[in-house]
Each structure stands twice: as structure tokens, then as C-alpha cells.
């Protein structure tokens, strides 16, 4: 590699390594749309391995600034996994104790990662999914409000603001006037709402597309089917232009293709985002013959190497 291409980044702590994630061009999975550029924003390059590092870190540092945390209080929240890993990493870095409520059927690897950073886990009913975990954490906090700081990622404005001040700025900085479309899934909706708000301030119009799972009950991990869920308070449907539904199977299939064709091992919510991005690229190729679509790659696929999921797919 030429030395001029080597960029060394030196940080004072793990906290400073959050954000500024790479944008990588996807040529092979989008080969049916050769006139359109498709990029993946690799959020798994954050220190906690997911897009949730941004929101967790901003919610924690703002709470410390406001005196709501860092005074011996325990941070408690419900999480499907990635946010919990992020709280755990930054809890260890900032000296904040962390307690997480999660459905008991989350993968062992996820529990182990959180515990490795010193986090305590409380389990909620797996049949009630993430909505049940949210209800449970609210009960715990209501009983002992002085003991806990509850960031509540579903209602905390610092969740979308992390993307408004981070993800959105970085995408515009890298692509400027070229970007025409942005695609992200809806979990808490922090990523799509915050990033879209920033992109909508750009002088050129950028179409922002949210991805939801088709299936109401067994949808993509990390993503919500809003019509059948508690709608997060931070959700703002006017921040983006369109919602596309993607099946779990299409999310998995695109995740497989991304590994084999683009050397990117990603989770299936990322697969779903890229699937929607490639569909948009194909439409643009046929109608206007050009465009530039950015899809969020939320986390890495090895986070889902768990009994059942991958083994069911690859019967080796
Ligand atoms: N994908 C994965 C794998 C996630 O963990 C999450 C967050 N739970 C999302 C997508 C959605 O991100 P957001 O909460 O910002 O909507």
C-alpha cells in the first residue's frame, strides 16, 4: 500500500473512536443497476460493533453533563442487544454501572458480551419480545426512581440527535451533492429520523427510505413492524419519505450475498436495508439512469452465529 494511502487515527479513549465509519461501494450485489452507485455505511466499525454506539454514547454523555448520571446512579434500559453492548462498553469506559432488561431468548453470545464489561442482566418474558422488556424496565424504574437513570432510547431525543450530528453529517461530507437516496431500518427509529433530518437540510433533495419487516410477529431482529408495535415517541414519520417492507428471507439472502460477493459479513437487518437499496437502484437505473443510494449496515453477521438461526440455514 502506498504510504500516502495509510491513514492512522490516534484516540485518547475508545469513546473518541465512535463514528466516522467507512462508506463502501457495493458493485456486485447492485450489478443490475450499473448506472447507480450503491454504498454501505459500515456501522459495525464502531467500537461496540453496531450503529447503536452513537445513540448510547450521546445519551450517556448528555446525561452526565446534565447531572442525571455519574452520581452513583445505575443506568437501566431494555435492549435487543446492540444498544446493550454499547451501554456496557461506555459504562465501563465512563465508570457507570449498567443493568439491562432483555427477553430471555436473546443469544448467549449477546449476554456474554454485556457481562464481560461488568453489566448485570435482568430477563423479561421472551413471548412478549422487546415491547415486554420495555414495560418491565418501566416497572422497575417506577419502583425505585432514585436508584436508576433510564435513558429510554425510544423517547430520548439524544438518540436521533446522535445521527443528526454524526451519521448525516458524515454521509454529506463523503458524498456531497452525489447522494440521492438514503435507506435505514426502524428499530427505535433513531437512525432513520436523525439522519434523514440532517439530509433534508441539504440543498439538493435526498429521498429517505425506512425499512420495516413484512412479518408482524417474526420480523427481522433489531427492526420493528410499526403497525404492530408500540410506536416509539421519537418516531417522526414526516422526517422521511417512504417505508418499504422487506421479508426476513430477503434480509437473510442479501446478507448471504454480501458475505460471498462483497466480503461483508453483516446481520440480516443490514441485509434488509441493502436489499431495499438495491431495489431502489434497479428502479432508478430503469427510470432515470443514475443515482447514488446509501444503506446503513447496522452490525456484523457473526453476532447472529447462534444455534437455530445460521444452523437452520446452513445444514452442514
Ligand atoms: N438493526 C439492528 C441490528 C439493531 O440492533 C437496531 C437497533 N435496535 C436497528 C437496526 C435499528 O436502529 P434504530 O434503533 O436507530 O432505529
State the cell numbers at 62: 448528555
Ramachandran quadrant class, 255 (left: phi over 0; alpha: psi -120 to 50; beta: rest): alpha
Q: Does 167 sit in the ligand 1 pocket, CB within 6 Å?
A: no
Q: 283 phi and psi, to 5 degrees?
A: -65, -45
Sheet containing strand 74-78, edge to edge, reads 120-124, 98-103, 74-78, 148-149
Answer for the pair 75, 98: CB distance below 8 angstroms, yes or no.
yes
Distance CA 172, CA 117 (A): 34
Q: Does 190 sit in the ligand 1 pocket, CB within 6 Å?
A: yes
Mean pLDDT in residue range 95-106: 91
Instruction: Pick the atom of ligand 1 nearest to 190's CA.
Output: 15
Please report where in the chains the cell 448525516 appears, as a residue.
168
Question: Which of 58, 77, 82, 303 for mutating ligand 1's site (highest number of atoms within 8 Å of CB)?
Answer: 82
Distance 293 CA to ligand 1 centre (A): 19
Higher pLDDT, 134 or 64: 64
What pLDDT band is residue 307 in, cutting at 50, 70 and 90? low
E strand segments, 57-106: 74-78, 98-103
| Helical (H) or strand (E) element with 42 | strand 36-42
Q: What is the model's pLDDT at position 304?
A: 81
pLDDT at 60 over 90: yes
Q: Does 80 sit in the ligand 1 pocket, CB within 6 Å?
A: yes
43 DSSP 8-state letter: G
- ipTM rounded to 2 decimals: 0.96
Answer for the pair 211, 276: CB distance below 8 angstroms, yes or no.
yes
pLDDT at 311 over 70: no
Please report where in the chains the cell 494511502 appears, as a residue.
5
Q: Does 130 sit in the ligand 1 pocket, CB within 6 Å?
A: no
257-305 pLDDT per residue, tens? 999 999 999 999 999 999 999 999 999 999 999 999 999 999 999 888 7
Answer for the pair 66, 36: CB distance below 8 angstroms, yes or no.
no
Tell which residue, 297, 289, 306, 300, has the closest CA to residue 25. 297
Number of Cβ within 10 Å of residue 236's Cβ equals: 15
187-238 pLDDT per residue, tens? 999 999 999 999 999 999 999 999 999 977 655 667 888 887 778 999 999 9
Which residue CA neighbors atom 3 of ligand 1 most closely? Answer: 222
Half-sphere exposure of residue 152, counting CA atoms within 13 Å on the CB side?
Answer: 16
Distance CA 41, CA 173 (A): 13
Question: Which of 21, 46, 50, 51 for mutating ligand 1's site (highest number of atoms within 8 Å of CB)?
Answer: 51
Please report where in the chains the cell 446509501 appears, as a residue.
294
Tell which residue, 17, 149, 13, 19, has the closest CA to residue 77. 149
Q: 75 phi and psi, to 5 degrees?
A: -80, 125
Distance 301 CA to ligand 1 centre (A): 14
Q: What is the model's pLDDT at position 118?
A: 95
Tell which residue, 193, 188, 186, 183, has the closest CA to residue 214. 186
Distance 51 CA to ligand 1 centre (A): 7
Distance CA 13, CA 15 (A): 5
174-193 pLDDT per residue, tens? 999 999 999 999 999 999 99
Distance CA 4, CA 2 (A): 5
Q: What is the model's pLDDT at position 111?
A: 86
Distance CA 250, CA 58 (A): 32
pTM of the model: 0.93
In terms of C-beta distances under 8 Å and separation of at least 24 residues, what long-range contacts does 101-105 make, across chains too?
101/76, 101/77, 101/133, 101/136, 101/137, 101/140, 102/78, 102/133, 103/128, 103/129, 103/130, 103/132, 103/133
Amino acid at each position: 500500500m502506498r504510504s500516502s494511502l495509510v491513514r492512522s487515527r490516534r484516540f485518547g479513549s475508545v469513546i473518541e473512536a465512535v463514528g466516522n465509519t467507512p462508506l463502501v461501494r457495493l458493485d456486485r450485489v447492485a450489478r443490475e443497476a450499473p448506472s447507480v452507485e450503491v454504498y454501505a455505511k459500515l456501522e459495525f466499525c464502531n467500537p461496540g460493533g453496531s450503529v447503536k454506539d452513537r445513540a448510547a454514547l450521546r445519551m450517556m454523555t448528555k446525561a452526565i453533563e446534565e447531572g442525571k448520571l455519574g452520581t452513583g446512579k445505575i443506568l437501566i434500559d431494555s435492549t435487543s442487544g446492540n444498544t446493550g453492548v454499547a451501554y456496557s462498553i461506555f459504562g465501563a469506559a465512563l465508570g457507570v454501572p449498567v443493568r439491562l432488561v432483555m427477553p430471555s431468548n436473546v443469544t448467549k453470545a449477546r449476554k456474554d458480551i454485556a457481562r464481560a464489561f461488568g453489566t448485570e442482566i435482568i430477563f423479561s418474558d421472551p413471548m412478549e419480545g422487546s415491547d415486554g422488556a420495555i414495560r418491565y424496565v418501566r416497572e422497575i424504574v417506577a419502583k425505585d426512581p432514585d436508584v436508576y437513570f433510564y435513558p429510554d432510547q425510544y423517547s430520548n431525543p439524544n438518540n436521533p440527535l446522535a445521527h443528526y450530528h454524526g451519521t448525516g453529517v458524515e454521509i454529506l461530507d463523503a458524498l456531497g451533492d452525489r447522494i440521492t437516496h438514503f435507506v435505514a431500518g426502524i428499530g427505535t427509529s433513531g437512525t432513520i429520523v436523525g439522519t434523514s433530518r440532517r439530509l433534508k437540510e441539504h440543498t439538493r433533495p435526498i429521498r429517505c427510505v425506512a425499512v420495516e419487516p413484512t412479518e408482524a410477529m417474526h420480523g427481522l431482529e433489531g427492526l420493528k413492524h410499526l403497525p404492530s408495535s408500540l410506536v416509539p415517541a421519537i418516531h417522526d414519520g414526516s422526517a422521511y419519505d417512504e417505508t418499504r417492507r422487506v421479508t426476513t428471507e430477503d434480509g437473510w439472502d442479501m446478507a448471504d450475498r454480501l458475505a460471498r460477493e462483497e466480503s461483508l459479513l453483516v446481520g440480516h437487518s443490514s441485509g434488509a436495508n441493502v436489499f431495499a437499496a438495491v431495489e431502489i437502484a434497479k428502479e432508478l437505473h430503469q427510470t432515470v439512469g443514475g443515482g447514488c443510494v446509501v444503506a446503513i449496515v447496522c452490525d456484523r453477521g457473526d453476532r447472529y452465529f447462534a444455534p437455530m438461526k445460521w444452523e437452520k440455514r446452513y445444514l452442514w
